[in-house]
Structure 1
C-alpha cells in the first residue's frame, strides 16, 4: 500500500477508507504533513494565541473556515492559498487514527474516525509537523532511523514552559527525537532551519540535552516508539556515543499536552501521534 500512496490526496483517501492506520512518516514523499487539534469554539481564540506565542512547537498552518466546517480550511501561511491546502478533505476521517479527550482526559485513543464526536461548534487547527522535512534530510543522505525501522518517531514531555494564553497557563513543550551521528548534526540543523512552519531546526541536541529538557530516560517515551540503535538495541545502551546523538525538535503533540494540562471542558479531538493529516501542498511550498 505505501508505494501507491504517492500524493497527499491518496494518503487521505486511504485513511478515510481505513486502509492506512499507522505512522505516516515516509508516506507521500514531499507532501506536507500536519498535526490536527479540534476544539469547541469558545477555546479557539486562546488556542490561536497560544500558537502565535509559541511558534516553534505550535506552528499554525491553517484552521477551519467556520465552526463546524470539516471540509474547508483557511491558510495561515501567506505563501499558500486556501484552495491549495487540501481538496476533497474530511477532517473527521482523513487522519489514519485519532485521539479523543473529554474534559481534558484522554478517553479514546487510536480510533479510526471522529464522525460521532464532531459537532457544529468545533473548530479545527492544523499545525506543522517535523515529519515533513524528513524527505529533505533523506535527499541529503541523512538516515532517518525510525523510518528505516518502521517505527513511529519517539516523543517526550519536557519541563520547558510554553508562553501562556488564556486558559493555557501551565503547558510545556513536547519534543520529538531523532538520533544522528555527531558529524551530521550541523547538516541536519542547516537543512531543517528553513522549515519554520514545520518546527524549524532542533531546539536541543546532545546527550546532555536530556537533563536540560527534563527527560529522565531516553527509552521512556510518552508517544511513539522507544528509539533504537542501528542494530536494534535500546538507545540507553550507547549513552554518550557519538554515533547515536539524540536531536530534539518542538513537536505538534504539544497542543494535546496543553489540552490535558488545562483540563478543557467538552470534547476535544486530535490526530493519533505520528499518524498525520497529509496535505496537497508540498513541504517546500511553505518556505
Structure 2
C-alpha cells in the first residue's frame, strides 16, 4: 500500500453509480475542502453532489458516438481525508494521492474549492505540465484576504512551484489589475474570454487552444464551474455573469482532450446554491466528456503506433 492510501477515506456513493474495476485506467477521487472560500461556502459538499448527479445522467458522450462511460469502468477511490483549516497539509495530501493514482491511471478529481488543484499540479511537476484552465477568474493574485495560498492565489503559487510551459485560460472575465499586469509579463499565458469565444466561435477557439498545446508533452485540465454563466451553473462559490454556455464549454473540452491528458478536475460546485442541481449535472458531464474523449484518443494513438 502506498502512502497515498493513508489519505483516502470512503465516500457516500460512487461516481455515476458505476462499481468500476480497481484496474481501470480512470481513478475518481473527491476532495471535500473549502476552508479558504471567500464568498459562498459549501464546496466541500461538491464531490458527493457531482457523484449523485452523474448517476442521473445517461453515460454517452454528446460528441462521440457508440462509446459509453461504463466501457471505461471508472473506479471511485473515495475522498482525500482533508485537514480542515490546514490548507498546506491538505494540498500535500492531494499531491501524494494524485501522484500515486497517476502511476496506474488517469486521476479524475472532484472538488472542493479550486485551491486543491495546486496539489494535483505539484504531483505532475516532474512532467512539466501545460495547463488548460476553464475559469471566470485568473486566480493569480499574490495574496488575497491575507492568504498566500487560497482559491484566488493558487495558480500564482503553482507557477512558482511547477514549471508550466503553457497556461491557457478559457472563459476568464473577472480579473484584478494586479493579475492583468502579471499576465502581460508572461509570454506563456493565453486568455480566451467569453467575448473571444462569441466572436470567434468555439470551433476556432478550440483549434487555437490545440495549437498552443501542440508542443506540450502532457497537459492538465482544470474546470472551475464558474467558467459557465450562472444562468446554467448558479451553484458556485463566486458566480460571475457573462460566462460560457454548456454547449461551448463541453464542446471545447471534448475537442482539446487527447491521449496527452495527465489528469482532470472539476471544482467549485456549491450544492446549497444549486437548487435545481444543474451545476452538479454539468460538472459531471464535463468529467464524462473528458474521460470518454481521453479513452478514444488513447485507443486511436495505440492503433497508430507502428508494430
TM-score (norm 1): 0.29
Higher helix proportion: 2
Higher strand proportion: 1
TM-score (norm 2): 0.27
Task: Identify which of structures 1 and 2 has the higher relative contact order when contacts are C-alpha pairs closer than 8 Å and 6+ apart.
Answer: 1
